[in-house]
Amino acid sequence: MNDANAAKALEPARLPWQDLPVRPVGAGFQMLSGFVVLDLTTSIAGPYATMLLSDFGAEVIKVERPNGDDARHWGPPFLEGHSLWFTAVNRNKKSVVLDLGCAEGQAQFRALLQRADVLVCNQPLDVQRKLGIDHETLRALKSDLVFVSITGFGLDGERADLTCYDLIAEGYSGIMDITGEADGRPQKIGAPAADMLAGQDAAMAAVVALLARERTGEGAKIDISLAESMTRFLACRISSYLGSGEIPARSGGTDSVIAIYQSFETADGLLLNLGLGSDAIWKRFWAAVGDPQYAARPEFSTNARRRAHRSEIVADIQAILRTRTRAQWLEIFANSRVPAGPINRVDETAHDLAFQQRGLFFTLQDGTQQVPQVGLGIRIDGQSATPRAAPPRLGEHTASILATLAKRKTAQGEPS
């Protein structure tokens, strides 16, 4: 091996994020500009909620314990010392380290509270009360505060004191029992679904409460439950059970109210998903595969009739789809307006050019720091959200924010 090859062999392997489009920090969306959010949460659901608010322009001050957000320690993998789970849900924020267990930390927190429009916490109610961050205590200090609590089972009810993670919430909701192969064990969704859904609910509720406050001047108490957010995700399946008495069962993703709504294998062994969700799509599909007479068979004329003959139809479609590659079928179905798509691996999704072009995946450039990000996924007036800052280092903004508070007190003639 020559010197050049030897040097190349010693170079670190290129990581996937280094192939993403680079986006510098910018002003971003400004719809919530001027609103201040105190984020006292850890892990995923709460930080995701406050990151959503930050993506729309809110200033988020992340109040952390001396050892930081739990998610800072989740790994490997780490990137330049940062947990990638943490960096996924904490962009745009300012990190302030406070010890709420001591008098000085409480005084600093209460000074910050006077600046805040929204406070988000995810501690159980007994811990909220112990730290003085429960709704009753904070409302007495700031009546127009929008208070958002995210817990496993809510602030009241027989399960209020139980501890909870995403996995536990998924089990309570019923989603695990209908996820997986028919003859297999129940499966968790392959992402923290309850956390992400609860985070979205918290952000949405906070914005609605801020709108109401503009009219009434009053704050609000928002109570978000991981288990309830996850359960609402099953609204269509639960409603179907309540109205029919039929209990949904695991089926490997093949069971749906839509007769043909599942994956199929193609000639190159790759899978594609196919959803024939209306009579018109049913007819377009059979025209696309060259057998319009099949669509016209009276026993298949409605979705209900197709469900009665599902196994026969699935076998016929599977035989046809094995005659061409996935890419060939996807082109045919796209041209015929038949809903179809691949089952991507995570790496295939992350490098999907269509997603990248719409701003969903990028490497954020903040000064000398670069960090991979998954974008907001919401475009407004043709624009996607541009982050204002990379996820903060622990306590990165403590000195500057506390100094600002001290200056304010001095200007108002209060003892610092």
Residues with active-site annotation: 195
Distances, alpha carbon 120 to alpha carbons 153, 200, 231, 358, in Å:
16, 13, 22, 30
Separation between Cα atoms, residue 204 and residue 200, nearest integer Å: 6
How many Å apart are CA 287 and CA 290, to the nearest integer? Answer: 5
User: Contact at 8 Å (CB) between 266 and 329?
Assistant: yes
Dihedral angle sign, alpha carbons of residues 155, 156, 159, 161: positive
**Which pair of tokens denotes residue 125?**
């109610």
**CB under 8 Å to 124, separation ≥6 — which residues?**
151, 160, 161, 163
Two structure tokens written together for 328: 């060939």
Alpha-carbon Rg for the chain in angstroms: 26
Token pair recorded at residue 183: 């003859």
Distance CA 137, CA 140 (A): 5
